[in-house]
Amino acid sequence: MYTETSREQVEGLLLKAEQAIQQLKKRSIADRAALMDAIAAKIEGLGRELIATAMEESHLPEARLVGEKARTIFQWRSYADHIRNGICFEARIDTAIPDKTPPKPDLRKIKVGLGPVVVFGASNFPFAFSTAGGDTASALAAGCSVIVKAHPGHPKTSTLMAQAIAEAIQEEGWHEGVFSHVYGHSNESGAYLVQHPLVKSVAFTGSYGGGKALFDLADKRKEPIPVFAEMGSINPIFALPDKLAADPRGLASQYFASLTLGVGQFCTNPGVFIAIKGKDLAVFKAALQNEVASCPPATMLHDGIAKAYHTMSKKVLSQPAVRLLGKADQSATEGQGMALLAEAEAKSILANEHLLEEVFGPFGLIVTCENEDEMLMLARQLKGQLSITIASTDADAAKHTELIGLLQDKCGRLLFNGMPTGVEVCLAMQHGGPFPATTDARFTSVGADAIQRFLRPLSFQNWPDALLPDALKDANPLGIYRTVNNVLTKEAVGSKL
């Protein structure tokens, strides 16, 4: 079942994915949404076996996986509701003005799917960002067929999900090419998919190295295609003086909990904490040192990730500018990750930006600034982030408008206090951000707006009403919001406009 999919099989699956596109174009949005609901129901129906399999393959705890399963089902259902609502297809109608010079034609625009999409899942979310995850749900919602490259870290979990999707596709009477599942361990098998002429877009969640390599391959194609790669980030916290003074111990406890949540294996893990030197920071650090000493090491997703964590954290700690601030009393065994805290001066970071590279795992770097100018300089040097958090009182915020203005340019999500871990699935979520957090800051991979990555506008000029897609017909049979002659309305064309 988990043997490498052969090139011949991959070719066959891609041809089917291409054929399925024509069916996806023909059948209604309501049918597509019904398929998505059916997939959600099938996933819901996967009981103990799914959780047990994922626990075995990912070493994630049961409660976390039960929660992630619910999140995955919610993604399918809420994205289905979103396409039923219809506004995401951005129907625009400009009616003809025959007596204008030159005559204005009738123009009607709607967003349609890009074509077959290849999805690369993440190891750290075996449900919500893998085979049946948000990328698959949003590509299908957009009307694209999907080819998932199964994550080699959890092939059995992926297969259970793929079977659930395939069953729903069959029961709802859809072409089997709507969804395909490919197994392959080598980078070449993924590269082959991204370079294939039938593939029209790519979604990826994972490391910078992996995402950037796929992005480069896609750009070098004869026909370049869009790649949305979410490649993680260090999600810095800028702690402002008033806030730090108010409750340094509370902030330390909150920060440490976020840093070590899920053994630090979140793309929104707050890997860097930036504050100004002084007695409040000293209290904060002492509290952190207490926390880390008693934090037991825990098993990471797989051995490869644990090894990479040890290597990367060791590399950062070997820099003369970085000193170890604290670690657990108990040492880690093979496959485990142990929380580590390090410290560096802002001026060292300013001299060597590589010190701010992501260490995937529970590794926290405390960056100490001499003053607020150094904090500003750090903000200016910062690369693109999924999230940035400002630990701030209202008084702090009033004093630091320049800093807040700068940080807005560097991230997809800006938090006022709280911690960045926990990515709510909702329309107002932005899980994206300037490069290198993602390859295209204009899109998100969480929330129903993720569908937009796989849509493109298509205009129909002077088409007979009967031949237009339902969304664009005069009578508005779908009852959706449309922009008719620059006015947002659900009215039929000509009714009272």
Residues with catalytic roles: 230, 267
Could you give the CA distance from residue 492 to residue 497 in angstroms, rounded to a whole number? 9
Q: In the complex, what is the shortest distance from the CB of residue 183 to a copy of itself, in angstroms, rounded to a whole number?
A: 29
Which two three-digit tokens encode residue 479? 């009852």
| 354 near a copy of itself, judged by CB under 8 A | no
Q: In the complex, what is the shortest distance from the CB of residue 31 to a copy of itself, in angstroms, rounded to a whole number?
A: 17
Q: In the complex, what is the shortest distance from the CB of residue 389 to a copy of itself, in angstroms, rounded to a whole number?
A: 8
Contact in structure between 223 and 140 (CB atoms under 8 Å): no
Near a copy of itself by CB under 8 A: residue from 350, 376, 397, 492? 397
- Which letter does DSSP use for residue 205 in this model? E
Could you give the CA distance from residue 359 to residue 370 in angstroms, rounded to a whole number? 25
Q: In the complex, what is the shortest distance from the CB of residue 319 to a copy of itself, in angstroms, rounded to a whole number?
A: 21
| 409 near a copy of itself, judged by CB under 8 A | yes
| 210 near a copy of itself, judged by CB under 8 A | no
Q: In the complex, what is the shortest distance from the CB of residue 442 to a copy of itself, in angstroms, rounded to a whole number?
A: 5
Which two three-digit tokens encode residue 190? 């993924």
| 440 near a copy of itself, judged by CB under 8 A | yes
| 31 near a copy of itself, judged by CB under 8 A | no
CB atoms within 10 A of CB 136: 28
Near a copy of itself by CB under 8 A: residue from 384, 391, 476, 478? 384
**Dihedral through CA 324, CA 329, CA 330, CA 331, nearest 10?**
20
Contact in structure between 29 and 154 (CB atoms under 8 Å): no
| 177 near a copy of itself, judged by CB under 8 A | no
Near a copy of itself by CB under 8 A: residue from 25, 314, 315, 323? 25
The upper half-sphere exposure of residue 416, i.e. CA atoms within 13 Å in the direction of its Cβ, equals 8
Quote the radius of gyration of the chain (alpha carbons, Å).
Answer: 25
| 232 near a copy of itself, judged by CB under 8 A | no
Contact in structure between 482 and 91 (CB atoms under 8 Å): yes
Q: How far is CA 209 from CA 229, 232, 310, in A?
A: 10, 11, 18
| 285 near a copy of itself, judged by CB under 8 A | no
Contact in structure between 337 and 264 (CB atoms under 8 Å): yes
Cα 392 from chain centroid (whole Å): 27
Q: In the complex, what is the shortest distance from the CB of residue 287 to a copy of itself, in angstroms, rounded to a whole number?
A: 23
- Three-state DSSP class for 442? coil
Near a copy of itself by CB under 8 A: residue from 457, 477, 479, 494? 457
Q: From 252-260, 284-292, 361-369, 397-405, give the range in contact with a copy of itself by CB under 8 A.
A: 397-405
Q: From 39-47, 170-178, 243-251, 428-436, give the range in contact with a copy of itself by CB under 8 A.
A: 428-436
Near a copy of itself by CB under 8 A: residue from 30, 107, 283, 317? 107
Q: From 133-141, 187-195, 230-238, 459-467, give the range in contact with a copy of itself by CB under 8 A.
A: 459-467
| 326 near a copy of itself, judged by CB under 8 A | no
Q: In the complex, what is the shortest distance from the CB of residue 105 to a copy of itself, in angstroms, rounded to a whole number?
A: 6
Could you give the CA distance from residue 136 to residue 138 in angstroms, rounded to a whole number? 6
Q: Which is nearer to a copy of itself, 164 or 229 (CB)?
A: 229
| 74 near a copy of itself, judged by CB under 8 A | no
Those residues whose C-beta lies under 8 Å from the C-beta of residue 401, and which sit 6 or more positions away, are none
Near a copy of itself by CB under 8 A: residue from 41, 52, 317, 441? 441
| 299 near a copy of itself, judged by CB under 8 A | no
- Three-state DSSP class for 468? coil
Q: Which is nearer to a copy of itself, 4 or 424 (CB)?
A: 424
Contact in structure between 270 and 251 (CB atoms under 8 Å): no
Could you give the CA distance from residue 14 to residue 179 in angstroms, rounded to a whole number? 10
